[in-house]
């Protein structure tokens, strides 16, 4: 997200690596500190990341056979914690035999944001990074560090910290922590950030930390159901708190025998002016 204007009479707050200490505390603790006392005798299987990617690939292929509704809301706040602007959009993700995978715009993007503007990188992150499907074609780009075990909602999980091996020009990556169900190596939760942060002399394009929750669909697949972030982005001139809520609802599986007809999709929303 990029800054749109500089609010008046706003003083810089304490900074740490360009983002708020409050927002990153959970991520840092989860990745490096909390699990020291939680590690048990169980160790992840050999070739852990590769096996996760194999399961993720099965998940991704299955998800391509499902339609679902994706709703996005981005909120910006003033220094008193009041919402000063929002961006919303709703899309149905579907497919047809003739057109393949398509998106039908149900509610076109509508923005009243004044302090930030959404960038192409933000929309890419919403569609590709925040749901995080770590498939076999992507896993070679990452390296992992095992953090131990933790129980999430009654499910025993391996915990792994992921980061890209290197930042490649023009590409976006995930960096953070994943919780992997031990019984089948399905990812059930991820917390992290899309990288890289883009900072030049002319532009700052910063990204918030987020949490993505997955739930079981049709008793077998672990699909994303919600992505949530509440973070403060530290631009050079002022700190800006934002909140993002993305929901993935109404998963429905359609076989090849199904015929689905939709109207043409609406044009993509225009980005707020700089």
For the domain made up of 44-253, give the CATH fold: outer membrane lipoprotein receptor (LolB), chain A (2.50.20)
Tokens 């749901």 belong to which residue? 131
Please state, rounded to an integer, the average pLDDT across all residues of the chain: 83
* CA-based nearest residue to 186, from 42, 54, 55, 46: 55
Query: Does residue 246 have a pLDDT over 60?
Result: yes
Query: Does residue 224 have a pLDDT over 50?
Result: yes
CA 122 vs CA 8, 88, 116, 189, 244: distances in Å: 26, 13, 12, 21, 11
- Main-chain phi, psi angles of 265, to 5 degrees: -75, 150
Q: What is the pLDDT of residue 5?
A: 58
Q: What is the pLDDT of residue 99?
A: 63
Higher pLDDT pick, 191 / 18? 191
Q: What is the pLDDT of residue 6?
A: 54
pTM beyond 0.85: the answer is: no
- Three-state SS for 77-133 is ECCCCCEEEEEEEEEEEEEECCCEEEEEEEEEEEECCCCEECCHHHHHHHHHHCCCC
Query: Does residue 267 have a pLDDT over 60?
Result: no
- For residue 204, whether the previous peptide bond is cis, meaning omega lies within 30 degrees of 0, is no
DSSP 257: T
CA dist., res. 15 & res. 237, Å (int): 12
pLDDT digits (tens, 9 = 90+) for 73-124: 999 999 999 999 999 999 999 877 776 778 899 999 999 999 999 999 999 9
């Amino acid at each position: 997200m990029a800054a749109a204007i500089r609010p008046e009479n706003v003083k810089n707050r304490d900074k740490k690596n360009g983002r708020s200490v409050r927002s990153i505390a959970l991520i840092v603790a989860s990745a490096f500190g909390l699990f020291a006392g939680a590690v048990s005798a169980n160790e992840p299987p050999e070739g852990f990341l590769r096996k996760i990617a194999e399961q993720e690939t099965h998940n991704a292929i299955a998800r391509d056979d499902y339609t679902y509704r994706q709703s996005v809301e981005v909120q910006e706040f003033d220094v008193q914690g009041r919402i000063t602007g929002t961006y919303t959009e709703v899309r149905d993700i579907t497919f047809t035999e003739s057109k393949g995978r398509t998106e039908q715009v149900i509610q076109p993007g509508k923005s009243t944001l004044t302090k930030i503007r959404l960038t192409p990188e933000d929309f890419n992150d919403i569609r590709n990074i925040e749901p995080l499907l770590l498939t076999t074609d992507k896993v070679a780009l990452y390296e992992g560090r095992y953090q131990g075990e933790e129980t999430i909602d009654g499910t025993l999980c391996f915990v792994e910290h992921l980061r890209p091996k290197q930042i490649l020009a023009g590409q976006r990556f995930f960096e953070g922590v994943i919780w992997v169900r031990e019984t089948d190596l399905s990812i059930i939760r991820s917390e992290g950030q899309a990288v890289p942060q883009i900072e030049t002399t002319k532009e700052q394009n910063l990204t918030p930390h987020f949490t993505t929750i997955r739930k079981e669909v049709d008793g077998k697949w672990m699909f994303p159901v919600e992505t949530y972030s509440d973070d403060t982005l530290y631009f050079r001139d002022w700190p800006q708190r934002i909140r993002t809520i993305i929901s993935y609802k109404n998963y429905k599986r359609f076989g090849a025998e199904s015929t689905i007809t939709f109207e043409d999709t609406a044009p993509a929303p225009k980005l707020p002016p700089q």
